[in-house]
Amino acid sequence: MRVLVVPEGSEKQGRTQDLTREGPEVEGESKKKRSKKGVPLEERRGERMSQSGTGGGGGLRSSGSMMTSSSSSSSSSYSMFLSSKGLKLERMPTDGNCLFHACSLQIYSSSDYHDVLRENVIKHIEANRDTYEVFLENGESWEDYLARKRRLGVFGNHVEIQAICELHSRPFVIYTPQPPYTPVNVGHDEYDGFPIRLSYEHGNHYNAVLKPDEPSFGAGLGLAGLDVGLADRTQVEESKKLSDLSVAEDAIRLKLQAVSDLEATERDALQAVMEESKIGMSGGGDDELQKVLEMSRKEAG
């Protein structure tokens, strides 16, 4: 059991709860959503956000030392452990944006969109003020907190992790390089998307943990569930539509060409009549003119 640390006066003050689930990474278990009967969603959010130490962001409370890592841990042993699970550690820049780099890589397939993810996360927090404002501390105003968190280089922490859970309907699995490397599972009770995996190191840095054989890129981008192969099928359908359109266009062009050829034939016939007319006129004979007029009427008919 862990005691929730919340601002004085909060309606959640004094409540205790097991905030995270330590143990093997949840594989498939989250595909069937579970619920805590009688516990409102907002309360569960608050409980999870009070979990201990998943990042230093300042201005938001955290307690305990569950997520602290030991610098003396062997990185090679840690890498071997991850490898045995089919996982790969991907190091992120140490620029203060590491959480957003690591999550962006697993959402957008590139860590370069960390700024886009940060802005979306802060907008989500801003839109859910009642949920998040109670975790401000040190007298920081709501507006100051939002402005600070929007700045590039400001650390993200467990509150932003919770917001990403909600925003993309994806749980988190967070490892630390400290034996026995037991991961912390966050959000598996509510969200059934592919998990975002992180490695929390040195007490202030996040790296990405990837599972190469899992098609997680793009999951949670406004879609409740990722349809693997949808892009390929869409491309085939679009190609077929373009092919059908091309056939229709060819048919229209052939029809127009036929009309054009007919008009050309009629123009040639009229030209011939006019030439015959000129010949008759030059002969000066009424009989010849009459013949030309008769021929013209026949052609017109």
CA distance between the termini of the chain: 103
Across the range 62-89, mean pLDDT stands at 71
Percentage, residues of the chain above pLDDT 70: 54
114 is catalytic: no
DSSP H helix total and E strand total for the chain: 9, 8
Q: Give Cα 116 to chain centroid, integer Å.
A: 11
pLDDT the model gives residue 265: 72
State yes or no: pLDDT of 63 exceeds 50: no
103 is catalytic: no
The domains located in the chain, with CATH, are 2-228 (3.90.70.80), 233-300 (no CATH)
The secondary structure of 232-279 as a DSSP string is HHHHHHHHHHHHHHHHHHHHHHHHHHHHHHHHHHHHHHHHHHHHHHHH
The residue annotated as part of the active site, out of 18, 95, 144, 261, is 95
The residue annotated as part of the active site, out of 98, 103, 168, 192, is 98
pTM tops 0.75: no
pLDDT the model gives residue 282: 54
Which residue's entry shows tokens 């009967």?
37
More confident residue, 293 or 89: 89
pLDDT digits (tens, 9 = 90+) for 207-236: 999 998 886 666 555 543 444 445 545 665
pLDDT the model gives residue 12: 36
pLDDT the model gives residue 284: 53
The residue annotated as part of the active site, out of 101, 124, 158, 205, is 205
Q: pLDDT band at 245, cuts 50/70/90? A: confident
Helical pair 158-168 and 41-49, crossing angle rounded to 10 deg: 140
Measuring CA to CA, which residue among 92, 156, 170, 95 is closest to residue 125?
A: 156
State yes or no: pLDDT of 51 exceeds 50: no
Across the range 163-186, mean pLDDT stands at 95
95 is catalytic: yes
